Amino acid sequence: KNDRKDATGGQELTSQQKGSPKK
């Protein structure tokens, strides 16, 4: 996957909405 989703802490929405972090 992408390390971007891991940095935002939204590994659940990696493919769902990686453009919107679940902060």
Cα distance between residue 23 and residue 11, in whole Å = 11
Contact 18, 2 (CB under 8 A): yes
Contact 21, 10 (CB under 8 A): yes
Cα distance between residue 9 and residue 15, in whole Å = 13
How confident is the model at residue 23, as a pLDDT?
53
Cα distance between residue 6 and residue 12, in whole Å = 9
Q: Which amino acid, one-letter code, is at 20? A: S
How confident is the model at residue 5, as a pLDDT?
54
How confident is the model at residue 9, as a pLDDT?
59
**Distance (Å) of CA 10 to CA 3, 6:** 10, 6
How confident is the model at residue 17, as a pLDDT?
59
How confident is the model at residue 21, as a pLDDT?
59
